[in-house]
Structure 1
Amino acid sequence: MDRQPVLQGERVLLRPLRRSDWADLFAVASDREMWALHPSHDRWQEPVFRAFFKDALAQSGALAVVDLASGGVIGSSRFQGHVSGAGGDECAQPSQVEIGWTFLSRHYWGLGYNAEIKALMLEHALRFVDRAIFRVGADNVISRKAMLKIGGRLTGESTVEERVGRPVEHVVYEITRDSFAAGPLAIA
């Protein structure tokens, strides 16, 4: 699976993140209010965001989100943790990829941009894997509502990760090939 495709929708273009995107992306990320409910609520700070940006480049699955109308970078998302599936018939592990680390300028919140981004990423990913997973901070009400809105199903899986000097629980949502085909983001 190509984790850095170029994907175009009606309003956004997703393309591989580049080092040269730093200034534009930090201009978006430096909005303190954008991170208020996020587990990494300090990501608006330049040194913290610089580490996030460096990791995004190193993971080779990061995408810049470009607004087609303005040509400006308005956010970012990632494909990460690709598992091609393994095991025999009885213990087969489904192939999967994680979609996440998505953030958008607050000017684009509530206007369907996140849904368009996720639809493009899911349509691409589910051609290669059985399911896409999303790890969401258990207390991140905005992201949890967004997951339900795009057809995510809470799996009962969770992880605990260190964020801002404390353990933070993340719950796992999934969208499978079948649920995507029948869900709110299905592309005809």
Structure 2
Amino acid sequence: MHNLSPILQNHKVILRPLQQSDEELLWPIAQEKELWIYGLKDLSIKENLSQYIKSALADRADGNCAVWTIIDVTSGKIAGCTRLAEISWKDERGQIGWTWIGKEFQGSGLNKAMKYEILKYGFEVLGLNRIELKADERNIQSRKAILKLGATEEGTLRQHLKIHDGFIRNSVFYSILKSEWPEVKAKIKSGFD
């Protein structure tokens, strides 16, 4: 069984394993309504945030998810939450997602630094062969960020997921393969050193 509760860090970000007590620390960020425009759940509702954390911790306990609280090194502030989830050990793959970062940290390079650590952990520690990312087709900001990482766009699943407001979204899928990781790693690292 792998340790799915590591602390990952670099000079920009600390990813600390999520705990139920983080709910109070994450609550102020969850109040930023624009974070949930494309969200499957609206975590600005207290019960939803609580359930979200419980569910993430249960998935980690089941051995198919690593979930972190994001801390911005520069300010020392809690910045949000992210996961490497839907891990299939048999298929050697997982998916980075469920990421939400407060407005003040967006565009700061925090997301790239964080994705770098999660990809490195997934490929180099867990031995995954494929790491997926997906985004709502309408979420241009997320889609651009995923492509900037060096992920390959694979296609769109039409009417794939129903989000919190009832809209059934199209999901655009991306991936990075283990064979591509050395090149992607060098590219990302040069972007935030």
CA distance 1:111–1:69, shift in 2 (3 Å)? closer
Aligned residues: 179
Equivalent residue, structure 2, for 1:182: 183
| CA RMSD in angstroms, aligned pairs only | 2.1
Gap runs ≥5 in structure 2: 61-65
Residue 33 (structure 1) shift = 2.4
Shift of 1:35: 2.7
- How far 1:46 sits from its partner (Å)? 2.3
TM-score, scaled to structure 1: 0.85
Question: How far is the alpha carbon of 1:41 from its aligned partner?
Answer: 6.9
Determine if the alignment matches structure 1 residue 103 to structure 2 residue 100: yes
More helix by share: 2
Secondary structure at the aligned position of 1:148 is classed as helix
Cα separation, 2, equivalents of 1:181 and 1:44: 38
Cα distance between partner residues in 2 of 1:132 and 1:182: 15
Counterpart amino acid of residue 178 in structure 1 = S
TM-score (normalised: structure 2): 0.83
Distance (Å, rounded) in 1 between the aligned partners of 2:41 and 2:67? 20
8 Å CA contact 1:66, 1:72 repeated in 2: yes
Structure-1 residue corresponding to 2:114: 117
The correspondence of residues 158-169 of structure 1 with structure 2, limited to 5 A, is: 158=157, 160-164=160-164, 165-169=166-170
My pick for the range that moved more, 52-61 or 4-13, is: 52-61
2: distance between equivalents of 1:138 and 1:34? Answer: 16
How far apart, in 2, do the equivalents of 1:14 and 1:84 lie?
A: 22
In structure 1, how many angstroms separate the alpha carbons of the residues matched to 2:39 and 2:151? 19
After the TM superposition, list the runs of 4 or more consecutive aligned residues in structure 1 that deviate by more than 4 angstroms.
none
Alpha-carbon distance between aligned partners in 2 of 1:34 and 1:149, rounded to the nearest angstrom: 20
From 82, 104, 109, the counterpart of 2:87: 82
The question of whether the paired residues in 2 share the 8 Å contact of 1:180 and 1:186 is answered with: no
Distance in 2 between residues matched to 1:163 and 1:115, nearest whole Å:
25
State yes or no: 1:147 paired with 2:152.
no
Matched ranges for 1:1-188 at <5 A: 1-36=2-37, 38-40=38-40, 42-60=42-60, 61-85=66-90, 94-127=91-124, 128-156=127-155, 158=157, 160-164=160-164, 165-183=166-184, 184-186=187-189
